[in-house]
Amino acid sequence: MTDENGKSYLQDNEELQSMNTTNDSHDTSEENVQKKTEKHKVITFVVVDILLKPTGNAPIMKKKKWTVDCDKKIGWIIEFIKKYLKLEPSEKLFLYVNQTFAPSPDQIVKNLYDCYSTDGKLVLHYCKTQAWG
């Protein structure tokens, strides 16, 4: 198409494709730029510190401070603690945030960390019987 001065301001798809094929030596087409950026992607993980404290009759863990991927769910942490303490699969494990409430197993760690962390750590209490809530 042309404007009133006769200059072209919109090109059809064939013209654009021919331009992209002629510019391959410069690698400026969108496709080539995307390929280059995909090769150099940096994967970053956001982690949070959690402090695991035993309550009641729960066994004591040797290591109390752990770094966890922020996208993990509370259910994953419960299963991790059960494996670490070598509990039977049938045994229950209860987890509490700051000795106040039990988060649902599908709750994401980052949400809890953003709301309830103190001194840069999310404090979670674990026990084998219900303690609070």
Q: Are residues 9 and 28 in the same domain?
A: yes
CATH of the domain at 57: 3.10.20.90
Asked whether residue 133 is domain-assigned, the answer is no
CB neighbours of 55 closer than 8 A, spacing ≥ 6?
Answer: 96, 99, 125, 126, 127, 131
Crossing angle of helices 109-116/74-84, nearest 10°? 100
Residue in this structure with the two tokens 């649902």, named with its chain if needed: 104
Q: Are residues 121 and 98 in the same domain?
A: yes
pLDDT at 47 over 50: yes
Confidence of residue 36 (pLDDT cuts 50, 70, 90): low
Confidence of residue 46 (pLDDT cuts 50, 70, 90): confident
